[in-house]
Chains A and B, each alone.
Chain A
């Protein structure tokens, strides 16, 4: 009711014990375009739906390589995302430089979470307006982490965020049991099927879809347009055959 009095500064608590600025930052994530992350026993996959601001503009890349074994997709303020990507990359390189080994995914998630939390406790800063989905493969297997602007993070078997992602969430919840034993191609197909209905005014195709894969014997790779095409074709074929999902 008195939300407006307590929501100007990030350092002001509301009487209900909430930080409204942080919650508003989480709203920004919901404005971004949809993205999905899921994992099997051996692989992790990221799928992002790329937006373009007009017919004449390029598509905003969604999936980024952070290191040879970690990739990331984001939703929210793209500028904040770019800055955090640079931070993620330099953290991984720094670790490799000092310890000559890849940074474990969970440790990276913690480091980013600390950085995000920092901004929620300084009066001269604002929280990052971007949610980060990390997908990585390290000595303990594939992992998917979601980092929130609040500084919270969780590990997931599968996760989705962004505009119109509710249908994707429902799809992932319904099919979560089969992901563990999926092959890489099937895992990608599940990701595409999940995100299919989050697309606004059009179809998912090789132009507006970013796919990233990582896993056992597979360093992180963002698929090129030519590599995405067969997956999209498979999606279209299955749709036409009217397979039940």
Chain B
């Protein structure tokens, strides 16, 4: 009942051109001279930052818990991460309403899969399914910036990043949301060791990765007003899932 959404809003997507150009004399233009149509926007940004780091046999997925609207804070403890299976989680930044609807829908699909196939969906299957689900709403997208993190069928950590309409890429690390521009370069440097001649000879352990992720949020929280309050950190291994809450500055 939910795969093919009726795109009755497609009509609304046609742009209404604001009539009139800037006045030739270069004076300030007034609203009377150039009326703009006030339209209902179905989208709003609730802020938030999400980070995922994959290791040899673990995956760390974290998101901050601040829910914002404009310059206001709506909640300091709003969960953005949902556990999907014992080995896979999804974390989403963007609009909270779409986030909740999307996560709920995925959980429904996962349960149906388990009933019909007698086993849980693997992380790579979930990743693909999310991509399809997002693209199915290509013309009225979920305002969601997702990261799927988990243990793939080979026992290795995997992180998948998405855009709003389902472009999917499997990566070793990624960040999305309002603090992403502050975090991605940091991860490139400290996890990807990009353009560095001297690299460590071993990969980070799970605990070191968690410490790194805490650092990234503390860093982003310094400059990004939409990131702060606390971080939900999910650490997945082949043995299961553990959850940790890390407090951040509340300013």
Contacts and interface: CB of A to CB of B under 8 A. Distances in A.
Interface of A: 65, 86, 89-90, 93, 97
Interface in B66-125: 104-105, 108, 111-112, 115-116
Contacts of A89: 112, 115
A240 B105 CA distance: 53
Interface size bucket, B side?
under 10
Contacts of A86: 116
A93 B112 CA distance: 8
B73 to A, nearest CB: 26
Interface in B113-152: 115-116
A134 to B, nearest CB: 16
11 contacts: A65-B115, A86-B116, A89-B112, A89-B115, A90-B112, A93-B108, A93-B111, A93-B112, A97-B104, A97-B105, A97-B108
A121 B108 CA distance: 33
A86 B116 CA distance: 8
A70 B208 CA distance: 43
Contacts of A97: 104-105, 108
A86 B105 CA distance: 18
Interface of B: 104-105, 108, 111-112, 115-116
A94 to B, nearest CB: 8
> Which 3 residue pairs spanning A and B have beta carbons closest together?
A89-B115, A97-B108, A93-B108
Nearest to B115: A89
A62 to B, nearest CB: 15
Nearest to A64: B115
Contacts of B116: 86
A86 B111 CA distance: 12
A93 B110 CA distance: 11
Nearest to A61: B118
A133 B97 CA distance: 39
B86 to A, nearest CB: 15
A97 B105 CA distance: 8
A89 B118 CA distance: 13
Nearest to B2: A97
A90 B1 CA distance: 11
Contacts of A65: 115
Nearest to A90: B112
Contacts of B111: 93
B129 to A, nearest CB: 16
A92 to B, nearest CB: 9
A218 to B, nearest CB: 18
A97 to B, nearest CB: 5
Q: Which residue, B104, B111, B115, B116, has most C-beta atoms of chain A within 10 A? A: B115
A224 to B, nearest CB: 12
A65 B118 CA distance: 10
A65 B115 CA distance: 7
A79 to B, nearest CB: 15
A64 to B, nearest CB: 8
Nearest to A98: B104
A83 to B, nearest CB: 12
Contacts of A90: 112
B1 to A, nearest CB: 8
Nearest to A89: B115
A97 B111 CA distance: 11
A39 to B, nearest CB: 23
A90 B111 CA distance: 10
Q: Which residue, B104, B111, B112, has most C-beta atoms of chain A within 10 A? A: B111
A93 to B, nearest CB: 6
B90 to A, nearest CB: 17
A156 B233 CA distance: 48
